Amino acid sequence: MSETAKMRVFRGDAESGDWQDYEVETEEGQVVLDVIHTIQATEAPDLAVRWNCKAGKCGSCSAEINGEPRLMCMTRMNLYEPGEQITVAPMKTWPLIRDLVTDVSFNYEVAKTIPTFKPRAPEADGTYRMMQEDIERGQEFRKCIECFLCQNVCHVIRDHPENKPDFAGPRFFVRLAELEMHPLDTEDRLELARQDAGVGYCNITKCCTEVCPEEIHITDNAIIPLKERVADRYFDPIRWLGSKLFGRG
């Protein structure tokens, strides 16, 4: 059974823009991205929208739907009341290119600053062995699809863009935690986490966890453990005293 959806989509760029209203016939089971495509196909062929897999795995179609950061392809239309006006806006934290497309290159630049996996020397037979229990924490983090919704919703940079040079953001705390917890890795990234990545800026209000489409427990399983590891190193007077007395912490 088809219904008419009332869509309000942002059209414009960083210099100027406006809301544009569309009334679109929808079919049962459609998602917001389907409706955006219908608008493209019928009324606004120049509507800019980034998308790829339409299956919640490529992380391309992030947007703010009724003000909530979401993947358009994973947001079903029946979440909303019939006749309810649905606003679709670009992610707020990144520079707007046009319409619903933003420039997320900040994230790629941050990614370059994180030292990659550096394994210890292989065992005598030239192989590495890991037990499942040692790597399953990291497997949760590997689900990340880099949609950057967590980065977008984080108020540290969303409301304070001046913090961008000093704050890596939740996605990269997930990456840092994954590498730091890896049983084979030998690189030390705690100084990076504390200083350049600015894990101390996070006040754990958990918005990153709330918006994650992969339901990664970003705050509980990545950021807080990272904060605790930083506390081990830098905010633990007992360990500090031990390092002074015995040369180790």
Selected binder of another protein within 72, 181, 212, 222 (CB under 8 A)? 181
Closer by beta carbon to another protein, 27 or else 235: 235
CB of 100 to another protein, least distance (A): 10
Closest CB to another protein among residues 69, 213 = 69
Rounded to whole angstroms, the Cα distance separating 117 from 169 reads 19
The CB-of-114 to another protein minimum distance in angstroms stands at 17
User: Binding to another protein by residue 164, rule CB under 8 A?
Assistant: no
CA atoms within 13 A on the CB side of 200: 11
CA distance 186 to 121: 10
Whether residue 65 contacts residue 86, with contact meaning beta carbons closer than 8 Å, is answered with yes
Helix axes 170-180, 132-141, angle to 10 degrees: 170
Taking CB under 8 A as the criterion, the residue among 73, 153, 174, 176 binding another protein is 153
Cα dihedral sign, 136-140-141-146: positive
> Segment 43-102, which members bind another protein (CB under 8 A)?
64, 66-69, 87, 89-90, 92, 96
- 34 near 56, Cβ under 8 Å? no
Strands 3-12 vs 17-26: parallel, antiparallel or unpaired: antiparallel
Q: What is the binding site for another protein (CB under 8 A)?
A: 10, 12, 14, 16-21, 64, 66-69, 87, 89-90, 92, 96, 131, 133-134, 153, 155-156, 158-160, 162-163, 180-183, 185, 198, 200-207, 210-211, 220, 224-225, 227-232, 234-236
